[in-house]
A and B are shown apart, each in its own frame.
Chain A
Amino acid sequence: MKKTILWSVIVITSFLMIVMFALSSCKESEVVVETVTEEKIDDGKFVIGVSNEGPTNDWAKSLNYHIQYSFDIKYKDLIEKVYYMSCEGDPSIQVDQIENLLTKDIDALLVSPLSESALVTVIEKATDMKVSVIVLGSSVLTDKYVTYVDRDNYETGKIIATWICEQLGGKGKVVTIMGEPGSGYSEDVLRGVSDALKEFPDIINIGTDYGEYSPVVTKQKVEAFLASYPDLGGVIVDGGMMGMGVIEAFTDAGLELPYLTVDDWNGFHIMAEEIGYSKYVSVPGGSELAADACDLLIKILNGESVPKEVLLAPSIMSGDEVRAMIPEGMPESYWALCKIPAEHVKEYYK
C-alpha cells in the first residue's frame, strides 16, 4: 500500500513538473532557470544579467515587461543571452542571485535593488569584475555603478505632499503612507514628503506609516488612524494599490473621501472612475524607465558614454489625463506611461 502511494506521489510530482515546464515554455515565463553553463562566444553579442524583485506586484511585472521587450524584441540582434533572476522580494536571495550571475561571464548587470544597503558589496564586486552595472528603480548606497536610472523619488515626494497641502489650503490633518520600509525607493520619497511638509506649518502630519504596497495592510493602518482622527483631509500615498486601501477605509467609515496621491497603475483609475472619485492626482510610478535603462545599457556596451544618474522629473496628472493615456481594454495591471510600442503591448499586458 505504502509503495503504491509512494509511486503515486512520484508519478504525480513528475507529471506536475512536466506540465509546469511546458506551461513555462509556452508562456515565456519571466524566470529563466539555467542548467548549463555555456561558453561565451565572442561574436560581438552581449550576455546580460537581470536581477530584480520578480513578478510580486504589477509594478515589478511592468518593469519586467519593459526589460523583456527591450532585450527580446528591440535589441534582439545584439543580445546573445539574457539571464533573468527574480528574488521574490527577498534582498538576501537577490545577493545570492547576483553572485550566481557573476559566474556566468556577463557583460552587464541590470539590477533593481531591493535594499539600499544589502546589495552594496555585491554591486561593488560586479564593478570590480568589469561588469557594467546599471541600477534601476531604487537607489543603493554606493557609487560603484555605471549609471542609475530612476524616477526622481525625492522630488516625487515633494510634489505629492505639496499638492495635498495646497488642496487643503495649507491647513489640516494628513497621514503619509509609504511603500516598504528600508527600500531606497520609499525612503527617498519620504524624505521629499518630509521636506515639503516643512513648508506648510499649519498642516499636521498625524503619522507616517508603511502600507507595504498592500491594500489590506494599508486599509488596516488607515482605519487605525481614522479611529482617532476622523477629520483627516488628505492622505499622501505612494502607490495606487495602497490608494485603494485608503479609499476602502474612508468609505467603510462613512467619511468623505480625502485628497489622495497615487501612481499611474490602471487598477486604481478603473476603480476611481467606477465610484466617481476625482480628488486625486497621479505621479508616474516609473516602471517604464526600465526601457530607458535598457537603452543606456546597450549604449554602455557599445562604448558610448552615459550620465552617472538619469532621474525622471516627476509630473502631476489628473485621473482623466491618466485614463486618456490608457488604450481601451487594457487590464488593471497596465501602467499608463508604458513605453512598449502599441503593436507589442498586448503581448505583455493580457
Chain B
Amino acid sequence: MSVSLTAIKKLKINKNNSVFIILILILIVSGLYKPEFLRFGNLFGILRQASALGLLTVGQLFVIVGGGVDLSVAATMQVGITIFTYVYNLYGLWGLVIGIILAFAFGILVGVINGIIVTKYNVQPFLTTLFTGSIITGIRMTITGIKPAGTIPEMIRYIGRDKTGMIPNAVIMFILVVVVCYVVLNKSVYGRNLIAVGTNKIAAKFSGINTNSTIIKSYAVCGFLSILASMVLAGYIGFADQWIGAGYEFKCLIAAVIGGNYLGGGRGSIIGVIGGTLIMTIVLNFVILLGLSAPFQHVVAGLALILALLMGIFTRNK
C-alpha cells in the first residue's frame, strides 16, 4: 500500500500527462450521469474509435519533433486505401498482398517527396505538404472518377472492427505502434537525432547528424502510418470510401498539441499523443451522452479542449 502511495506521490503532472486529468474528470462526470458509459464494452468502443486517429497522430508526432508538419496525411490515406482496394478487387488474394505493399510504398513515397522538398529546397513544410496533398487528391479524382473503390477484404475488417477477447484489434494495433514508436523516439539513435534536428538544425548538422536524411525519414514514417490508419478506418466502416479520413490532417495536429507537444520541434511525447487522441474522441462521445443539441456540442467540446490545453500550459514548467 505504502509502495503504491509512494508511486502516486512520485507522479509528476506535466504538460504531457495533464490531459489525463481532464480525461478522468470527463469519465467521472459521464459515469455519474450515465453509469453504463463506463462499461468495458463502451470504453473499448471509444478506444477503437480513437485508434485510427491515434496512429495518424503518432506519425504526425515524428514530423512535429523534426520541426515540420504534414498536412498531406488525409490525402495520403485516401489514395492509399483506393490503391489497395482497386488492386485487391482486381487480383483477389494476390491483390491483397500486392495492394498492401503498393499502398504502404505509396505512403512512404509521399513522405519521402515531402521530406525532399522541405529539406533540399527549404520550402515551408506547411505549404509543401498542403500542395502535395492537393496534387495527389487531384490525381486520385482524375484517375478514379471518385467512384467507390469497392469492397474491402475480411482481413481489413478484422483489423478495423473485430476483437481479440474483449479488446478491439485496432486498439491492439495502436498499442503496438505506440510501443515501437516510443522506443524509436526515446531510446534509439534515430530518435535522439530527430530531437536534435528539431531543437536546432544547424547545431545538429555540426554535430555530424545527417539532418536532411533524418527529416525525410520522419515524413516517411508519417506516410507509412497514414496508410495504416486508413486501413484501420476502412476496416471500421467496412467500406472503401474515397473521402476516408477527411479532416484528419487537422484533427491529428490538434490531438498532438493537446497532448502537450510543441509544433516548433525538438520535443515529443507519445504519452501526450495518447492523451490528446483519447480526449478528442471521448469529448465527441461525452457531448452526445449529455444529450446536447449540435450547436451546444460544439461549445462544450470546444470548452473541454481549451481546458485540456490550459492544463498543459499551467503545467508546462513542472
Contacts and interface: CB of A to CB of B under 8 A. Distances in A.
Q: Do A and B come from one complex?
A: yes
Interface of A: 2, 5-6, 9, 16, 20, 23-24, 27, 29, 55-58, 61, 181, 206-210, 214-216, 219-221, 223-225, 227-228, 230, 241, 244-245, 248, 252-253, 267, 331-333, 350
B161 A207 contact: no
B147 A215 contact: no
A220 B139 contact: no
B158 interface: no
Contacts of A227: 34, 36-37, 39, 42, 45, 285, 289
5 contacts: A55-B145, A206-B291, A207-B291, A227-B285, A332-B148
A5 B285 CA distance: 48
Contact of B120 (A2, A23, A61): A2
Interface of A is mostly: helix
B148 A61 contact: no
B148 A244 contact: no
A209 B288 contact: yes
Contact of A244 (B117, B121, B237, B288): B237
A5 B39 CA distance: 56
Contact of B238 (A181, A208, A209, A248): A248
Interface in B62-121: 116-117, 120-121
A230 B246 CA distance: 29
B239 interface: yes
B289 A333 contact: no
Contacts of B135: 16
B8 interface: no
Given A228-B36, A331-B148, A27 B142 contact: yes
Contact of A58 (B34, B117, B148, B161): B148
Interface of B is mostly: helix
Contact of B116 (A5, A24, A55): A5
A331 B149 CA distance: 10
A216 B233 contact: yes
B221 to A, nearest CB: 22
Contacts, number: 99
Contacts of A6: 121
Contact of A24 (B142, B233, B243, B284): B142
A254 to B, nearest CB: 9
Contact of B294 (A208, A245, A331): A208
Nearest to A222: B288
Contacts of A214: 241, 243, 246
Interface string B285-297: 1001101111001
Of the candidates A2, A209, A245, the one having the most CB atoms from chain B within 10 angstroms of its own CB is A209
B139 A228 contact: no
Of the candidates B45, B135, B161, the one having the most CB atoms from chain A within 10 angstroms of its own CB is B45
A207 B288 contact: yes
B-side interface size class:
35 or more
A223 B45 contact: yes
When A and B form their complex, which 3 residue pairs have the shortest distance between CB atoms, in order from nearest? Answer: A224-B288, A224-B285, A227-B42
Nearest to A274: B151
Contact of A267 (B36, B37, B148): B148
Contact of A220 (B145, B239, B241, B284): B284
B291 A350 contact: no
B264 interface: no
A223 to B, nearest CB: 6
Given A181-B294, A214-B246, A224-B289, A61 B146 contact: yes
Contacts of B289: 224, 227-228
B288 A248 contact: no
A215 B291 contact: no
Interface in B17-61: 34, 36-37, 39, 41-42, 45, 49
Of the candidates B39, B141, B142, the one having the most CB atoms from chain A within 10 angstroms of its own CB is B142
A221 B142 contact: no
A250 B292 CA distance: 22
Given A20-B142, A206-B291, A224-B289, A245 B34 contact: no
Contacts of A245: 237
A223 B243 contact: no
B233 to A, nearest CB: 6
Given A227-B34, A248-B236, A333-B148, 8 more contacts: A20-B139, A23-B142, A207-B291, A209-B297, A214-B241, A221-B284, A224-B288, A248-B161
Given A5-B116, A27-B142, A224-B289, A57 B294 contact: no
Nearest to B137: A88
B122 to A, nearest CB: 11
B120 A216 contact: no
Nearest to B141: A55
B239 A244 contact: yes
Nearest to A190: B294
Nearest to B150: A332
B138 interface: yes
B1 interface: no
B243 A225 contact: no
Contacts of B49: 220, 223
A310 B143 CA distance: 36
Nearest to A254: B41
Contacts of A2: 120
Contacts of B141: 55
Nearest to A207: B291
A55 B148 contact: no
A14 to B, nearest CB: 13
Contacts of B41: 253
Interface string B218-256: 000000000000000100111101011010000000000
A20 B138 contact: yes
B142 A215 contact: no
A238 to B, nearest CB: 14
A210 B147 contact: no
B236 A350 contact: no
A216 B142 contact: no
A311 B161 CA distance: 41
B212 to A, nearest CB: 11
A331 B146 CA distance: 12
